[in-house]
Structures are given as C-alpha cells and as structure tokens.
Amino acid sequence: MRVDVVSIFPEYLAPLDLSLIGRARAAGTLRLAVHDLRSWTHDVHRTVDDTPYGGGPGMVMRPEPWGEALDALAPAELAPDGVTLPRLLVPSPAGEPFTQAMAHELAAESHLLFACGRYEGIDQRVLDHAATRMRVTEVSLGDYVLFGGEVAVLVILEAVTRLLPGVLGNAGSLDEESHAHGLLEAPMYTKPATWRGHEVPEVLRSGDHGRIARWRRDEALTRTAARRPDLLAALDPASLDKRDRAA
C-alpha cells in the first residue's frame, strides 16, 4: 500500500519509523512518504494560514498550498476517471467516526493520501474541489478536539497497517481481538498462575479447549454488555447461539 501524508509538522510522524509499522515500511508492504505542506508555498514566510472569512477566532489553512500539494500527489492527468487516484482522508472532529470496519475498508485501498489540518482546519474549498476528482473522507477519532490531524494519522495508520497481509506474525490474532466480531475481547492472562494474591481463572489452566472457548465467549459477552451495550445492541442476533443468550 502506498501512503502519502501532508503536514506542516512532518517530524510529528517520526514514530512511523518504529516497531511493526517501521518493519512494514522496511519490507515494502507500506510505502510511506511524509511531505511538508510548506514546500508548496511561494512566499518568503512560507505562509499556510490566514484569518477566517466572516470573522471569529483562530486561523484557517489557505487553499493554494493544499491545492498544489494534492495536484502533485494525485495528478489528475494520470487518472482522468478518478478511479486510480488515492483516497483522500482528512482528519476532522466533524468527520465520520473511525472504526475497525473503516480500518478494514482502508486496508483494501492501494493508495491513501492524508491531509493534516491545523489551526481551525482547512479551507472547505480544498475538500470540495478534491471531491470533484477523487474519493474524499473526513474522518474523526472521536468526540474531542486535537491540535492537528497528525495524531489521527498515527492512529489510523496503526490500525490499518496491522491488517495488511504479512504484517502481524500471527494473523489469527486479528480474528480473536476486540471489535473483530462486534464484541470486546475477554481478559487475557500469562504466567505466573498466582500474582499478588490474584489467580488466573482455573478454566484457562484446564487444557480443555472447549471450556476455554466457551469461557472466553461468555466473558466477551459480559464485558461488552457492561462496557459497550451499544455494540451488543448492534450485533446480528443470528450470530448468537443459545448459550450466548443465556450469558
């Protein structure tokens, strides 16, 4: 997958060199480039913002550098139909909530382009113009406001990269974790069996795989009901068996 990130703070994306994302980059699974928006400015101060029309506090990111950045990274002449252009993702607290389902959707794309806003955000015309030639999604990490889109990009890329083939050593973990099937994962334990007076549940030490699977499923249901009743309510009833309903 190819990923381009445009930001006025490219150094904010430095963690993308670390850990499994760094390894995915080294292996070529993730071809990531981070670009400085200011390289598409032409004045001596490398200006990217200006006061908002209509008044109000803060500054708004000017459309010209963004327009040039998107032209350079998604050249229309290469894909007049827009089909092979990247999918443009614009982090925004007013965007579509980011979920594991969206992470799966993005992991199936061949090219993602992130536009990181700062200040009061990017001039709306940048998004409106981009939408005339490529797919544009405003995406929110949650109902709170960050300083900029860079942290959102780090989060989204972590979630997406671990879904790419070959990135996780054991792909089976993707099938058993929270949000894989609309439930939260059961609690996990490792050695020692007793720690500071707290015991690992007996069933997990029993070696009985059937009982263990049932226990994990029950715990997942109980946890989800207690912590995220919204997830439980959204589950397809057909995915529940008789024992699930009892739990």
Annotated binding residues for S-adenosyl-L-methionine, as ranges? Answer: 117, 141-146
The tokens for 230 are: 């919204």
- Among positions 93, 100, 111, 216, the unique one binding ligand SAM when judged by CB under 6 A: 93
String of contacts with ligand SAM for each residue 145-184, x by CB under 6 A: xxxxx--x--------------------------------
- Among positions 142, 187, 201, 229, the unique one binding ligand SAM when judged by CB under 6 A: 142
Q: List the binding residues.
A: 117, 141-146
Paired strand residues for 115: 6
# residues near ligand SAM by CB under 6 A? 19
Span from 101-109, 126-134, 142-150, 158-166 in contact with ligand SAM (CB under 6 A):
142-150
- Among positions 44, 78, 83, 94, the unique one binding ligand SAM when judged by CB under 6 A: 94
Within 217-236, the residues that bind ligand SAM by CB under 6 A are: none
CA distances from 46 to 4, 24, 36, 43 (A): 21, 33, 11, 5
**β-pairing verdict for 87-97 and 49-50:** unpaired
- Whether residue 192 is preceded by a cis peptide bond, meaning omega within 30 degrees of 0, is yes
| Of 36, 45, 33, 91, residue with least CA distance to 68 | 36
String of contacts with ligand SAM for each residue 52-91, x by CB under 6 A: ---------------------------------------x
Closer CB to ligand SAM, 92 or 224, in the complex: 92
CA distances from 53 to 59, 123, 179, 227 (A): 10, 10, 42, 43
Contact 3, 30 (CB under 8 A): yes
Contact 164, 1 (CB under 8 A): yes
d(C-alpha 107, C-alpha 13), whole Å = 19
Task: Give the type of residue at 196.
Answer: R
Span from 16-24, 136-144, 191-199, 215-223 in contact with ligand SAM (CB under 6 A):
136-144
Instruction: Assess 97 for contact with ligand SAM (CB under 6 A).
Output: no
Q: Using CB under 6 A as the criterion, which residues of the chain lie in contact with ligand SAM when the complex forms?
A: 91-94, 116-118, 120-121, 140-142, 144-149, 152
